[in-house]
Amino acid sequence: MSDEQPRYPTSIGTSDPTTITLLGQDLAGELMGEISFGELAFRLTTRRTPTPGQLKVFEAVLVALADHGFTPTAIASRLTLHSAPESVQGAMAAGLLGGGSRFLGVTEDTAGFLAEVLAESETPSDEPGWNDLAREAVRRRREAGGFVPGLGHPVHKQQDPRTPVLIRIARESGTYGAHLALFEAIGRVAPEVLGKTLPLNGAGVCGAALADLGLPAELLRGYALLARAAGLLGHIAEEMRDPVAGDIYRSVDRNAEYVDPG
């Protein structure tokens, strides 16, 4: 019988009685106070150091996705805290679990859709070419009975204020690439294909911007959740100071109307 202990390789971090190593560096001596949380998150998931332009776009995305008011995720966090005030972790988890196809998950879905279109086509060289590619992509998605992710918003019916700002930041930072180019083209041609005008939403443009940074598509929802965690913590803190969850609960409970299932 071998006395050799099993090995569990990791490139993230390890610790011993006197030091903590993270990404191959001394956490206390080389990282704390030297890099931002955004840079750390980027490096932890990609194993590469972002350029200044990449970091600017990445952190702009985190800010853009941090909060959007009383969304279902925020309400879930507040109600969970109301039900279990001793469990901040439960309230945070409740809000994060709601990040799906309608809220936050659009970031990942949009990037995946754009990447799929780009993988099947040659990269256009001019705006008319991008428009043609986008027009065909929207047409095929419509004929298949699906929605184009990143189009439309329940509140911002004309324009999501985050969209032009993030596109500008990406251009200024030198990270504007094929995903954002295709996403902008979709915004231009969608009205003629769908017969209605829908704005490019913030979650979608965040997905396109992250994809242009070369971040893995399967992690993009995680970045959105990382951003929203800050917003949820803000809601929890506000709920502790000025609670509204009890009113939300009573409003629904007192106005519930029984309907005969038959």
Token pair of 163 as six digits:
């969209």
Q: Are 64 and 170 in contact (CB under 8 A)?
A: no
In the chain, what are the domain boundaries? 7-49, 105-218
Do residues 147 and 215 lie in contact, with contact meaning Cβ atoms separated by under 8 Å? Answer: no
SS (H, E, C) 119-179: HCCCCCCCHHHHHHHHHHHHHHHHHCCCCCCCECCCCCCCCCCHHHHHHHHHHHHCCCCHH
Reported as half-sphere exposure (CB side, CA atoms, 13 A), residue 244 has a value of 9
Name residue 100's beta-bridge partners. 104
Give the pLDDT of residue 9: 93
pLDDT tens track, the chain, 262 positions? 567 889 999 999 999 999 999 999 999 999 999 999 999 999 999 999 999 999 999 999 999 999 999 999 999 999 999 999 999 999 999 999 988 777 778 899 999 999 999 999 889 989 999 999 999 999 999 999 888 998 888 778 788 899 999 999 999 999 999 999 999 999 999 999 988 989 999 999 999 999 999 998 889 999 999 999 999 999 999 999 999 999 999 999 999 999 999 8
Hey, what CATH class is 105-218 in? mainly alpha
Residue 1: the pLDDT is 57
- What is the DSSP secondary structure assignment for residue 199, as one 8-state letter? P
Residue with token string 């443009």:
205
